[in-house]
Amino acid sequence: MDRDNLLVVQNKLAPISRQAATEGIVLLKNDQAVLPVKQGDNLAIFGRCQLDTYRSGTGSGGAVNVRYSISIIEGLLGNEKVHINEEIARQYREWVKANPFDDGGGGWAAEPWYQEEMLLTDESVERASSQSNKAMFIIGRTAGEDQDNADAPGSYKMTDIEMEMLVKVTRYFDDVIVVMNTTNIMDMSWLVTMENRNAIKAVLYCWAAGMEGGHALADVISGDVSPSGKLTDTIAYDLCDYPSSANFGGTGYNCYAEDVYVGYRYFETFKPNSVQFEFGFGLSYTTFKQELTDFDIAGQGKNAVVRMSIKVTNVGDCYRGKDVVQIYLEAPQGRLGKSARTLVGFKKTSPLEPSESETLHISIPVRDLASYDDSGVTGNKSCYVLEEGNYRFHVGSSVRDTVELLHMYHVSKLLVTEECQEALAPLRPFERIKPKAQAQSVSPYGVEFEPVPTRSVSLHERIESKLPREFEVTGDLGFKLLDVSLGRATMEQFVAQLSLSQLATLVRGEGMCSPKVTPGTAAAFGGVSNELVDFGIPVIAAADGPSGIRMDSGHKATQVPIGTLLGCTWNSDLNEELFYWVGEELRAYQIDTLLGPGVNIHRHPLNGRNFEYFSEDPFITGTLAAAQVKGLKKAGVTGTLKHFAANDQETGRMDVDSVMSERAIREVHIKPFEMAVKSGGATTIMTCYNPVNGHWGASNYDLNTSVLREEWGFKGIVMTDWWAKMNHPSEAGSEDKIHTSYMIRSQNDLYMVVDNDGAASNVAGDDTLQAIEQGTLTLGELQRSAMNICWFILDTPAMKRPVVRYEPVKAIRSFNEYLGNDAVALEALSTLEMSKTTSCVVEVIEGATYQVSALMSYAKPSLAQSSCALSLNDEFCMSLSVHGTEGERISIEGSQMRLEKGFYHLCIDFVKAGATLHELNFSPC
Ligand code: BGC
C-alpha cells in the first residue's frame, strides 16, 4: 500500500464527494423562500439524526470504515452563515449520549430501520420558538441488504412519535424545514393531510450522503450552493399505486406484470393523479429558462441522430445555480404500446450566475428511441423497432414540467434498428399491462392486459450448437501470462498449458478477507494457488462497493454518497470524476475492481437495497453507471456492475424468481448493464442471487452468453454473487451451490467465493472436474472461462505488481518486558468466548512459526457476513471471516505467524460484528 499517495488521494476525494453530496440533495418544497437561511435567522434543530446522521445504508454496500464522518450538526456549526439554537442542540447531545444509537449489535441486517427519538414537550418547543425563528426537523431511515423496507411506521411510514413531534414543532414554528436523511424515498402523504401542514415551508431529501454529508447539507442550507438535485423516483401518494405493488415481496416468484411501465413510465401513462412529486423534480433557489436554439436530424435510417441545442439562462436575480435539461420521448403507441414519456436525454449546466446562459448540446441516436418486439406483433419478432408515426419530444426540468417541441422525428415506414434473438423469455405464462387503444393518443390511457410470449427456443440446442473449441492440454511450455501481451504466446497457447485442476482452481475466487490480497476485502481471484502464480498469473483483489471501499480489516477509506443520491445529481461528469478518485484510492490500496456500481432498477420503493442503485429509470441509471466505470478505468482499475439482473427485492433474494417479459428485461432491467458495457467499457459483471425466468443468474446462459457476449460484445469476466446457487442451464430445475459446471457452461466465469486458501483443494466440493469427466462440461468451456479471466487480468494494475507466491508466514516482533501481571498464555486463547472487540497481553513462551485457526459461529443464515481483525503490537495480522452458520461452530483457518518469545499486545477487533469467536488456536508448525 502506498500510504503517502493514499493520503493525497483521500484529500482530493473528500471535496468531490462533498460536491456530489451537495448536488444530489433534492429540494421538494420551498414556500416563501424559507431557504436558504437569511441573516438573523436562527434554526432550532429537532431529530436525533442531527448527531447520528446516516451516511449510508446497511450490508455490504454501506460498510466502509471511515476516517471521519461529518454529522448534520457538525456541518451546520461549521458554516458561518448558519446560526443554530444551542440550547436544543445541547439537549440532543445529552439525550443521545444517554440513549446511544442502536445498531442492533452491529451484526448483519440487524440494525433497525429507524432510531428512537427524544420526546418533545410543548414547553420545550415553545421555548425554542421564542429563541429561534425557524425549525429544522430531521427524519432518519436506513435499509439494506437482506432486509427490505416495510410498509409500516418506522420504515416507509413515519412513526407515531415522529408525527407527534412534527405536529408539535409545526404548532409553535411557522417556518419548518423537513430534512429527509434517508436511504430511500418515504411516504410523504402526510404533507397534505397533517394538521399545521402550512407551517412546513421546505422539504428536502439529503439522503445518506457519505462521510461529507453534514458539510453538503450545510452548503445548501446556507445558500453557499443552490440545490440542483432532481428526483430519480416518483413519489406517489400511496404505496399501493406503484405498479409493482401487487407483485412485490413474493416468496416463490414475482410476475413483473407492470412490464416496461416502471415508475414514471406507468404514472405518466396510466395514473398521473397518483403522483405527489414527479420524476425529475427538484427546486433551486433561482429559476431558469430553457429555449431550444437548434434541432436537426443527422444521418439516415437507423443510424440517424436527433440533435438539439438548448439554451439555459438563470433568470433569477440572487443566486447562482445549475439546471438540468431533461428530454422525454412520446413515441407513437403503434402495435406494441408505449409509455407516454420516456427519458431519452439529459444534461446539467455548469453553475450559472444570474442572467448567465449556457447552451447544452444533446444528441439522441434514433436507435435509442426503439422498442423491443418480443411477440412479433409488428411482424419483426426479436427485433428493436421504430413503429410508424411521430416521435415527439418534451423538454424541461421534470417529467411534468416540459414543453413539447414543434420539431419531431417522423417514421413513415416501420424501421428495424436491431435484430436480436429470442433470449430470456419466461417459461411461466402470465399477463402484462398495456395501454388500451383509444381514439386520441393522449394519456392517461386505460389499462389492458395481454398474455406475455413465453419461451419458444430450445436452450439445449442453442448451447450444444455453440460449444467452444477446445485446446489440447500441453502442460507447462514455459509461457507466462505476460507473454500473451508481449506477443510471445497466444492466449490459447497460454491457457492450454494449464491442467484440468489448475483450470478448475482458476474459476474459484477465495474470500472473504483473503490474506492473499489487501486485508478485509471481499475476494481474491486469479493467482490463488502457487501453481497459478508460477504461470505468472497475479492475484486480483475485489472489494465492495458501491459507495466506497469496504475493508473489514478496519483499514480506512472514503465513503461517498449512496447510489440514489448520485443518481439525483443528474451529473455524468461529476460521477466520472468522483469515481476516478475512488479508483485512485483503490489503486493505492492495491485493489483491482470495485464491486459496484449497483445498477438494478428501483422497481418498488420497498426494496431494501434501492439505496445502492440509482433510479427507477434505466436511461439515467445506465448513463451514470457508464460514467462511473469510465472514471474507475481512467484510474486504471475497474468497477463490477451488479446484480445482473433483476435482483429487485431482498426478501428471499436467493430464491425468488423474477418473472418478466423479454421486452421488460431488455428495455428496463438489463438496459443499464448494456449501456455501461457499450459506452462505459465495463469489463466485470456480478450476477444476481435470484433466478430470472427460471434460471438462476449465475447459470443463466442467455443472460451471460447470448445477450451479454453475443449481442453486446462484452469482453470481460462475469462473477457470481457471494456463495450463489446455480441450476441447470438448459433444463432449469432445482439449484445448489456446487454445480459450478452449470455456471461455466453459461459463461459465468468465476465462482465467488470458496473458503480462503481452499480453491486449489476444492474445499467447497464443486463439480467442475467431475462434470468434465462425465462429459456434461467440455474442456473448451472451462478454457473459455479461464481465457476470459486471464484477458481481464492482463488489463489490471496487478500485472504491474510483482507476481509472487503467497507467503503465509508473517513475522511480528515481541516486546520483551511487560510489567503487568495479567498476561495471558498463548495456549489459553483456545478457551475464549467473545463477540466484542477485546484486547489483552499474551505471552509467548516459545518462539516458533504458528498456524492460527479459530472456532467461530454466527447465528444467521448463510449469506450474512461477519469478521474480526487480529492485530499484534498494533500491526494488522489477519482477518477471520465467517458467513452465517445458523449458530453451528465451524473451524476457520487463519494465516501463519512467526512469533518470538516475549509479550504481544493482541487486539481482536470485531469490525463486522455478529459472530462469536469460541477458540483461537496458535499451533506450532
Ligand atoms: C452482496 C454483493 C456483495 C457481496 C460481497 C453479497 O452479499 O449481494 O453485492 O458485493 O456480498 O460482499
Atom of ligand 1 nearest to the CA of 59: 7
Distance 686 CA to ligand 1 centre (A): 9
Atom of ligand 1 nearest to the CA of 146: 7
Tell me if 642 CB under 6 Å of ligand 1: yes
pTM of the model: 0.97
Mutate to test the pocket of ligand 1, among 650, 722, 737 (most ligand atoms within 8 A of CB): 722
* CA nearest to 114, candidates 72, 37, 52: 52
Region at 291 (left for phi over 0; alpha for psi -120 to 50; beta for the rest): beta
Tell me if 60 CB under 6 Å of ligand 1: yes
| Ligand 1, atom 3, residue with closest C-alpha | 60
Q: Does domain 810-924 have CATH number 2.60.120.260?
A: yes
Tell me if 544 CB under 6 Å of ligand 1: yes
- In CATH, what class is 288-420? mainly beta
Please tell me the distance from the alpha carbon of residue 114 to that of residue 154, in angstroms, as a whole number: 6
Please tell me the distance from the alpha carbon of residue 196 to that of residue 194, in angstroms, as a whole number: 6
Alpha helices for 25-159 (secondary structure H): 72-77, 86-98, 122-131
Angle at 343 between CA 409 and CA 624, to 5 degrees: 125
| Ligand 1, atom 2, residue with closest C-alpha | 721
* pLDDT beneath 50, residues of the chain: none
Please tell me the distance from the alpha carbon of residue 475 to that of residue 493, in angstroms, as a whole number: 10
User: What CATH topology corresponds to 28-225?
Assistant: Rossmann fold (3.40.50)
* CA nearest to 346, candidates 414, 399, 273: 399
Task: Domain ranges for the chain, please list them.
Answer: 28-225, 288-420, 810-924
Please tell me the distance from the alpha carbon of residue 80 to that of residue 89, in angstroms, as a whole number: 16
Burial of residue 379, with CB atoms counted within 10 A of its CB: 0-12 exposed, 13-18 middle, 19 or more buried? exposed
What are the pLDDT digits (tens) for 108-117?
A: 888 999 999 9
Q: Say which of 721, 757, 766, 909 is annotated catalytic.
A: 721
Cβ atoms < 10 Å from Cβ of 886: 11
C-alpha cell at 189: 402523504
* Residues composing the chain: 925
Distance (Å) of CA 138 to CA 158, 162, 177: 12, 10, 8
Please tell me the distance from the alpha carbon of residue 202 to that of residue 399, in angstroms, as a whole number: 21
- What single-letter amino acid sits at 402? T
Q: Is 187 a catalytic residue?
A: no
Please tell me the distance from the alpha carbon of residue 562 to that of residue 216, in angstroms, as a whole number: 14
Tell me if 522 CB under 6 Å of ligand 1: yes
Distance 763 CA to ligand 1 centre (A): 21
Atom of ligand 1 nearest to the CA of 653: 8
Cβ atoms < 10 Å from Cβ of 378: 18
Mutate to test the pocket of ligand 1, among 517, 595, 609, 640 (most ligand atoms within 8 A of CB): 595
**Does the CA dihedral 889-895-899-904 come out positive or negative?**
negative
Residue 306 pairs with which residues in a beta bridge? Answer: 297, 364
Tell me if 146 CB under 6 Å of ligand 1: no
Tell me if 595 CB under 6 Å of ligand 1: yes
Tell me if 883 CB under 6 Å of ligand 1: no
Please tell me the distance from the alpha carbon of residue 637 to that of residue 579, in angstroms, as a whole number: 10
Instruction: Please say whether the beta carbons of 138 and 163 come within 8 A.
Output: no
* CA nearest to 746, candidates 731, 764, 763: 731
Burial of residue 472, with CB atoms counted within 10 A of its CB: 0-12 exposed, 13-18 middle, 19 or more buried? exposed
Please tell me the distance from the alpha carbon of residue 300 to that of residue 291, in angstroms, as a whole number: 26
HSE-CB of 486 using CA atoms within 13 angstroms? 8
Rg (CA), the chain: 28
Tell me if 722 CB under 6 Å of ligand 1: yes
* CA nearest to 776, candidates 823, 733, 743, 822: 743
Burial of residue 450, with CB atoms counted within 10 A of its CB: 0-12 exposed, 13-18 middle, 19 or more buried? middle
